[in-house]
Amino acid sequence: MNKSTMLCSLGFLVASCGFSSAAMASQGHGHHTRSHVMEAKAAFIDTKGNQIGTVVLTEEKDGVHLKLEAKGLTPGVHGIHFHNVGKCEAPSFESAGSHLNPKNKQHGFDNPQGFHDGDLPNITVNKDGTVKAEIISKNVTLDTEAPNSLLPAAGTALVIHEKADDYKTDPSGNSGSRIACGVIQH
């Protein structure tokens, strides 16, 4: 097999292999609209305003993937949620508003009248105060025009709470105070 045939068979020379851009688009390989961002990020700050971590959000076919790292947190299980305002004013982070909830549901995965689009599974902080977690949310998007977008004009934030989310109590799962916050940006 010569080099150009091999490259063509691997899909690197799509145009020279006779595939049109329309054929690629129909197979899900087309360009996204300008309003659709594929990656976003946030820097977590603590209640004193110090940066303690980061999160990278990537839109994939199965949802928005979050890869987060943080330090200086209390060990144990903590609730984490998307909030509907892109503002993180320490120390209380009340500026981030309530959970992202465009469908007006109640809070919690176990709530029969829930859950918010901003609800996420709990994270576990290690004994040394660090956390590395990967989460997938199928309920949000990075499409700036969607009602469940993490990138609307007012922005959104990702908030870590002091206690575990019980997944049922409205409005925030009895997860306690907001202890870290990051504004989601593209």
> The CATH number of the domain where 126 resides is what?
2.60.40.200
At 123 the pLDDT is 97
Residues 57 and 14 in one domain: no
23 and 44 housed in the same domain: no
CA atoms in the 13 A half-sphere facing the CB of 167: 8
Please check whether residues 26 and 55 belong to one and the same domain. no
pTM across the whole model: 0.78
Same domain, 12 and 87: no
Range of the domain at 109: 39-183
Which of the four pLDDT bands, split at 50, 70 and 90, describes residue 72? very high
129 in the same domain as 53 = yes
pLDDT for 16: 30
Report how many domains make up the chain: 2
Cβ proximity of 150 and 143 under 8 Å: no
The widest CA-to-CA distance across the chain, in whole angstroms, is 64
- Provide the residue count of the chain: 186
Say whether both 66 and 157 belong to one domain.
Answer: yes
Rounded Cα distance, 158 and 98, in Å:
11
**Do residues 77 and 160 both lie within one domain?**
yes
pLDDT per residue as tens digits for the range 12-25: 323 333 323 222 22
Q: pLDDT of 125-146, one tens digit each?
A: 999 999 999 999 999 999 998 9
Q: What is the pLDDT of residue 35?
A: 55
Cα dihedral across residues 181, 184, 185, 186: positive or negative: positive
Measured at the alpha carbon of residue 166, what is the angle toward residues 160 and 169, in degrees to the nearest 5? 100
